[in-house]
Amino acid sequence: MVQTRGNSGIEEYSYNTGFHSATRTTPFNVVYGRDPPALHPYVSGETKNADLEAQLIDRDDMLKLLKINLSKAQSRMRAQADSHRRDVSFQLPSTSRIHPVFHISLLKPAKGVVPPPQPAPLPLTRDWEYDVQPASVAAHRWVLEAGQPVLELLIHWQNRPTEEATWECYDLLKNQFLLSDLRTNKTRALPVDPNLPRWVCQNCHHSLSITGIDFNESSTYRSG
C-alpha cells in the first residue's frame, strides 16, 4: 500500500486499487485479501453542503476525463504494437500431439496457511446508516437509564465476525426488526432474569422465549 503526503487522495486510491502487472493483482487485494470497493459517482442532491457538492462534481468530471485519456492512450499503444505483428499459421503433421505436462520449474511451493480475508466494511444506506440485520442473540442484561431498568440484548449481526457483537436496546430492536426468527447460541447457558416483564416473558417447557428468542433455560417465570 502507498501513502503519499501532499497529494490528493484520488492519486493514492488510483495506485492502491490499480492492477499491477508484476504482482498480477492490486496492492489493496494484497493487504486486505479482497477486491477494492467501487468508487460510486455522486448523485445530485445527496448532500446539502455546497462546497462538498462542488468537490464531488469536480471529482467525477476528473475521473471521466482520466478514463477518456486512458482509453485513447491504450488505443494508440495497441495500434503501435499491432503494427509490428502479423497473423501466422502452421501446417503441422497429422501425427503431432500436444504434450499434456509442464516443466517442474514452473511450480512454486505453497508456504504456510493463507490467512482469511478481512470482512468487507459495513454497507451504508443513502441516509448514511449501517445496513445490517441481526442474526442471533448471545446474552441479555438489564441496565438503568434515567433510573428505569432497560432490557438489552447482545446481538450477533449477519455476515459479521463474532467480536463485532453489540449490546442493543430490546425496545429499539423490536420496533426496527422482526425478531421472531432469532435464536440464541444453544451452546451457552444463560441466566434467566425473573423480573422480565409480561410482554417479554412467556412460559415454555424447555426455554424462556423473548418474542421467539430462546434463552436455553427450563424454567417458568411470571411477571408480578
d(CA 158, CA 132): 7
Residues in a beta bridge with 145: 148
**224 contact partners, CB below 8 Å, separation of at least 6:** none
Structure confidence at residue 11 as a pLDDT band (50, 70, 90): confident
- Mean pLDDT estimate for the chain: 73
What pLDDT digit, counting tens, does each position of 71-89 carry? 999 999 999 998 988 888 8
What pLDDT digit, counting tens, does each position of 143-159 carry? 888 888 889 988 888 87
- φ, ψ of residue 213 in degrees (nearest 5): -100, 110
Q: Sort strands 183-184 and 134-145 into parallel, antiparallel or unpaired.
A: parallel
Q: What is the pLDDT of residue 76?
A: 93
Domain ranges of the chain: 9-83, 134-214
Indicate the SS3 state at residue 210.
Answer: strand
Rg (CA), the chain: 29
Residue 196 pLDDT exceeds 80: no
What pLDDT digit, counting tens, does each position of 14-34 carry? 788 888 878 888 888 888 888
Which three cell numbers, joined as nine digits, stand for 103? Answer: 516443466
Which three cell numbers, joined as nine digits, stand for 39? Answer: 468508487
